[in-house]
Amino acid sequence: MKSILIFASGTADGGGSGFQTLVESTTTGILDAKIVGAVSNHKNGGVYKKAQLLDIPFIYFSGPFAAENYHTIIQNSACDFVVLSGWLKLMCGINPATTINIHPGLLPRFGGVGMYGIYVHEAVLDAYHHGEITHSAVTMHFVTEKYDKGPIFFQYPVPIRQDDTADTLKERVGEIEHSWQPFITNFVVKGDISWDGKDPSTLRVPAWYNFHKIKT
């Protein structure tokens, strides 16, 4: 069984729902892997509290967010894969071939520095009201040392409603994230989805996997 280390910032008083969903999915057979730890930059925040309830080892990472520190944490966990689920710091010193992220919007358009959480949904709605897009999306991709630039291997469209606010869109996107993240993560840990960590053209998905990036 492959092992996963999860990086999830959460907040000082909440968050960590994606982390919780991943852990719970390992008990239902959706995700055939072992969660060996949860890393957060909030010492006693939502991720810490959920880790305690779920009996998952917790690692407080206050920085500096430098390559050697990431490397040490990952090496000490002896994990096979790193999964980012709401981690808001730039990753460096990692293996791009075994590190994945989930993003609450269309990439590459709504990614990069400052594009996280509610800010993604506000930017998406602004584009919608200017008649530029009709959908948001849940996107999963491999992670490189540039925000949201690794190869995309999953996008699920989320229609935008005329009366949506950033909060209602965030809630609906979050529900879809929780539904799909464990399922797609399982393809990665099983090796059905992979790349060499260097050349995006080496991205490999199952022959039956009907994946098309959404145009923006």
In terms of residue numbers, what domain contains 16?
2-107+138-158+178-202
Distance CA 207, CA 70 (A): 34
Name 157's bridge partners. Answer: 137
Mean pLDDT, rounded, for 9-16: 91
Mean pLDDT, rounded, for 90-110: 96
Name 58's bridge partners. Answer: 38
The structure tokens listed for 90 are 């730039």
Widest Cα–Cα separation across the chain: 49
pLDDT tens string 112-162: 999 999 999 999 999 999 999 999 999 999 999 999 999 999 999 999 999
Distances (CA, A) of 66 to 74, 90, 136, 146, 184: 13, 9, 32, 14, 29
Q: For residue 73, how many other CB atoms are within 10 A of its CB?
A: 18
pLDDT tens string 19-70: 999 999 999 999 999 999 999 999 999 999 999 999 999 999 999 999 999 9
Q: Tell me which H or E stretch contains 74.
A: helix 67-77
Q: Residue 40 domain-assigned?
A: yes
Q: Residue 208 domain-assigned?
A: no
Q: Residue 85 domain-assigned?
A: yes
For 162-212, the DSSP string reads: TT--HHHHHHHHHHHHHHHHHHHHHHHHTTSSB--SS-GGG-B--TT----
Q: Residue 171 domain-assigned?
A: no
Distance CA 24, CA 63 (A): 28
Q: Is the pLDDT of residue 192 over 90?
A: yes
Q: Residue 117 domain-assigned?
A: no
Overall domain count for the chain: 1
70's CB contacts (< 8 A; 6+ apart) are 91, 92, 93, 94
CATH at residue 145: 3.40.50.170
Q: Residue 196 domain-assigned?
A: yes
Distance CA 174, CA 177 (A): 5
